[in-house]
Amino acid sequence: MYINYSQLFAIILNIGAEQYKEKYELMKKTLKNFIAVVLCVLMLMPLSFAFTASNEIIIEKNVPQVNVVGLFGTTVYEDTDDVKSDTRWPISDGRFLDLIKNEKDFLIESILTLDGDSLESRLIPKLKKLFEPYALDSSGELKNKTGIDFDWPDKSEIKKDSCIDFYYDWRLDPFATADELNRFIDYVIETSGCKKAALSAHSCGGVITNAYLSKYGSEKQQSIFLVSSAGQGTTFLGELMSGNFTLKGDSIEGFLKYLFTDSEYENLKAVAFSIINRTGIADGLLNLSDSAFSKAHDSLLNEFLIPILGTWPTIWAMTPDEYIDSAKNYVFDKIFKDDGNDYSKLIEKIENYQVSVREKRKEILLDADKNCNLGVFSCYGYSSIPVSSSWYSMTDGVVDTKYTSLGATTTKYGKALSDSRLDSADPESISPDKTIDASTCLFPKQTWFVKTIITNSFMKTFMNLWIRFFIQKSK
């Protein structure tokens, strides 16, 4: 089913959410000014929102809802003995902006003079120093004192209609996190007095949910909601982990649309860059800078990003199936090859996810659908993060729509489905803008699509209301 932004609001407000109207109005006023810092940091930002419903099952009217948050949804501290310090990930704006502020004159000079060598020798080491403490060891395990500080809610706070976030260290092995999620679900069910719980998974939470369902099944769930789930991966990570890192004018233009949607600068920035791009100026400048900064570009990827992301088992789980072999070859046979560390245990974790989830993902989800209401909510309307040759993939801004929808046929960004496909397809499966065919989804009748929806606390509130509605529905 395809619904737009205003229809989504109307549906939710019509299902008895009057008590949320004040909050809605207040949050609506703040739905502006999405700020991006530097492109490499944008690649490490949280992934987007979304969802649906579905089985002829006897259900309780109210059950607690456990939300498995997405990538970077939990604060990871550099030192868990000092959780009040500013040393945390996501890196605070203050620490990152201080770095940029202190180096602004050097950055401006390097860019204007196309001095990539100086940029590499001076800036990359400082970025590494800022981010490197959050890398795991060569086994994909914690090192030093990094970690999270998550206190489970008190029993007095858990009711039958509670909505409870499950926080976890999003760097670690999904199966280790699945064990903790299982204990948390048991605690919530027992404390609430219900027989089951509802489970919603956003972004990277879809990876954790896949591991959980693989190991523990779905018998404890009344409903499962995959909300813009990255359980099948995301193309930009697959490209990044395979060493493909590039910029094009069209890709930046598409991504700017995502960044500035609903901001006061949306039209101005879109028109301005569109003019620059269509005249060929953008690609000309990018080609010039790519030539000058190729060494810095390689260092950014090979000495900064990969040595951090490559140690996180969850990032490997978010690497799409079609990229996993090329990613392993690039990271382990090139980047990590001669660094003197033993990566056998990390590789073992990656291969365990391969055997337990990748090769059985469809069967795992079909089995879950038999036991409980299962719904999928997928967003679309944006291009991918503009750092690879696959920037044109249709996404929610980060995660590909073909993955969040569990198999929808999507066009390239800015294109439409072919006439032959439109002629042969069920009209009800085609999106109004003719960019998506939902008939190829794993659960076409249980998948909802929303175009150009924005990720923020406002939408989180609406998604939770939406999920509460479907908790009470049968297939």
Res 78 pLDDT > 90: no
Res 461 pLDDT > 70: no
Comparison of pLDDT for 57 and 195, the residue scoring more: 195
46 vs 53, 132, 471, CA distance in Å?
24, 19, 26
Please, are residues 76 and 147 in contact by the beta-carbon 8 Å criterion? yes
- The DSSP output letter for 85 is S
The residue type found at 135 is A
Res 307 pLDDT > 80: yes
- The DSSP output letter for 218 is S
For 172, counting Cβ atoms within 10 Å of its Cβ (0-12 exposed, 13-18 middle, 19+ buried), the class is buried
Side-chain-side CA neighbours of residue 306 (13 Å): 26
Reported as a pLDDT band with limits 50, 70 and 90, residue 199 is very high
- pLDDT of 175: 98
Reported as a pLDDT band with limits 50, 70 and 90, residue 266 is very low
Res 35 pLDDT > 50: no
The residue type found at 311 is T
Q: Which of 142, 129, 49, 123 is nearest to 91 (CA)?
A: 129
Comparison of pLDDT for 198 and 101, the residue scoring more: 198
Average pLDDT over residues 311-323: 97
For 151, counting Cβ atoms within 10 Å of its Cβ (0-12 exposed, 13-18 middle, 19+ buried), the class is exposed
Placement of tokens 């046979």 in the chain: 333
How many CB atoms neighbour CB 449 within 10 A?
Answer: 27
- pLDDT of 32: 35
Reported as a pLDDT band with limits 50, 70 and 90, residue 116 is low
Average pLDDT over residues 151-158: 95
- pLDDT of 101: 67
Reported as a pLDDT band with limits 50, 70 and 90, residue 24 is very low
Average pLDDT over residues 423-430: 92
Comparison of pLDDT for 157 and 103, the residue scoring more: 157
Res 341 pLDDT > 70: yes
Comparison of pLDDT for 367 and 248, the residue scoring more: 367
- The DSSP output letter for 55 is -
- Between CA 377 and CA 451 the distance in angstroms is 11
- The DSSP output letter for 149 is -
Count of helix runs (H) and strand runs (E) in the chain: 21, 11
| Lowest mean pLDDT, pick from 90-99, 235-244, 407-416, 433-442 | 90-99
How many CB atoms neighbour CB 313 within 10 A?
Answer: 25
pLDDT digits (tens, 9 = 90+) for 227-241: 999 999 999 999 999
CA angle 389, 395, 396 (to 5 degrees): 140
